[in-house]
Structure 1
Amino acid sequence: MRDLAVRTLVRTSRRHTAHRPAPPAAAADHHGGIHLTVHTLPGADGATTPLALAQATTAAPTLVHRHVTSTATVLLALLTSPRHALGTDTHSVGALVRLMLGATPAQVAPALAPAGRTSDEHWIVVHGRHNPGRSTPPPPTGDDPAQLATLGTALGTPYLSIDGPGLRALIPSAPDTRPSAPAQAADLGWSLGFSAPAAAPDLPGADRQAERALQRAIAADAPAVVHSSDPLSLDAIVAPADAQELARTRFAPLDQAGSPGATVLLGTLRTWLNLHGSWDRAAAALGVHRNTVRHRLARIAELLDVDLRDPGVRMELWFALHWLPDDHRTHP
């Protein structure tokens, strides 16, 4: 058992980089009729000795055994990793106090970086949405400890928040890190959008990147999408101030909408366009009846004086939503 554990930890350490925790790994072997299984603990911060969970059984592990073992590795990671240890994350508490007393994100970011990192710390922003169409049950509302522990361990960060079907997270990274989606998140029914690595002062822009990546993941029904920069994109040739003014002007008539209000109408339009004009998928994503979606879009078409059946109109409105300033931005 010890030899199998050592070989597995060595194999895992070879996949470890200086900027990201080693991904979890597992190995199995047979010896004298005994089934040996080793699981490395995920979520290590690189400053502590790597650990593994080892099992020896006389019968081959069943599906139930594997699920129990997966849960055990998550709980052990919480108990053994300083970055995830319950009630001992003094760095996060100190950073929160400093933020509440007027510090900027750039000033507190070094306190949140894992041990041994350089001062050139970058962050990957993650946006997530639970897919109601998948077989897994919807996540509990609020900061459910089990949900936070599972997703935090899968993403390799303790810095995340779950609000109903929505998720946001910050992952410490190096400037040249390429984000990757953990399989556990997809198994739990989450679609994820990843930003490019960004320094603390640039986090607002990374937040917008993650949201746009998430919307592309939802539209494509993909587990995750990573933001990619294209210097020849429309954003590169339209001045930001002009784009925002266009968006404000385009949607100004919605301020006269009355109930349910411009915010709800914009969110409905964004979701419907993201899902390629599908009434049923938009209704499911918004948690309303498909006739409600139809009614809202009819009201939008009336107020904006447009024909939503026209692909050109849809394209124009999509870019206007993309350019909408942060103080008007809505999420489905």
Structure 2
Amino acid sequence: MPATVRDLVGERQLGLRVRAGEDALDRPVTWVHVSELTDPTPFLEGGELLLTTGLTMSGGSDLAGFVRRFVDSGGAALGFGTGLSHQEVPEGLVEAAEAAGLPLVEVPRPTPFIAISKSVSAALAADAYAEVTTTNSARQELTKAALATSGRAGVVRRLARLLDGWVLLLDSTGEVLHAAPSAASRRVAEVSGEVDRLRARRGPASSSFSLGAEQVSAQTLGDRSRAYLVVGRSRPLGRTDQHVLSSAAALLTLVVAGSQDHGDTLWHLRTALMRLILAGRPEAARETAAQVFGPLPEEPVRVVALAGEPAALRAAVELLAAPPRGTRWFVAEVDGYVLVVTPAETGDHERIPGRVGDLHLGVSEPAGYAAAEQAHRQAVRAAGAARRTGAGVLRFSELARQGLLGLVPRAEAEAFAESLLAPVLRHDGTGRGDLLGSLREWLRQHGQWDPAAARLGVHRHTLRNRIGKVAELTGADLDSPDTRAELWLALQQLDPG
């Protein structure tokens, strides 16, 4: 737990003295901020212990307003240093803090503000370390439970103990697969409405809600055959609890297919772990991935997306599941693409095309796991463009060099161009003038009449008449930059010259 005001007051070497708000000393302190501003609240986020020597406070200061603004900003407590600007804490400040229920502590002259900052910082570091060790220990316990003969039942029981609450694992119809403790199965009727709402959504979904005095979290498990994990307890889940729950959800994805074979189960686990990676949470996937599939690649990494027919994608996962000797990558199928996370600096991704058949690959730019979602988007866009254009491998960095037309299938681009320019093509086909060439030169000169007319060797009034005819035939607003861009792309598709 983070340090509280009471913890700081209890540190004798700091010598802090409570002047107001003694009933609220158990408030957690998220940070220490020092300020002598008359209103420091724009620079606060909430939960801070604000330290000040009252440099700007005088007999005419609005101390009640100062306290009110600080409380409204979510501040945890106020520390007032005496012996500098003030020999004692202003009585008006004490009264205002007491009235607002705000903890106010006096910081004696011998105690430097930095000593308080160091104390809070040390407590936060210890809290973070405890969170990491607790989460890792919980993941190990859950993994052992998942691999034991009790399987999903063991994971449910262990999760209930770790979270000090109750847990339900429901099948796709909402029937109980496992409950811990067993009495939790009686809560199915109470949570069925929320499970129905999750069932109606596409893709992964979750929700948090109250059930009497309890806080409940529900989420979907799996893609092909859904299940539901519901957890409840008398207090909200903390950050460590959320990590533990995510780990359990990833492991329980193993069993959402029920009677499917072991290979299908591992398929689901790969997908669940990949979703955690793409969400920028590799730490939640790392432990399980290492025990079942091997360590995740070191960052920076590239994400490679493979696009193609479903049967070919399934075969690709099986081929890529065992990397060649000396390589390390992690592969799974997500949302219709096979995704491979591979080290960016080793060039392992260059070995993928030789191991798959008629698939189209999109390769992201190097990225850390924190930016995995962006790398995923890059790879999917590149793979989509590769599939449309028939390319075998396409890097995201190459998309811009292809131009916009390179992202569109040629047949569709030609149909668009011919449809947009059909009236102009018919006109020119009668031999009554070169409207197409005039339009091209006018657009190339950015709509400037004199340079375009000079290039065409006609009078500018003649050019105006031709462009006016184009507007009449197409019904387009040639003053619109969107229209000009579409016409230019259509002209480029018909004849790049």
TM-score grouping bracket, smaller chain normalisation: 0.3 to 0.5
Is the helix fraction higher in 1 or 2? 2
- TM-score, normalization: structure 2? 0.24
Between structure 1 and structure 2, the one with the greater Rg is: 2
TM-score by length of 1: 0.34
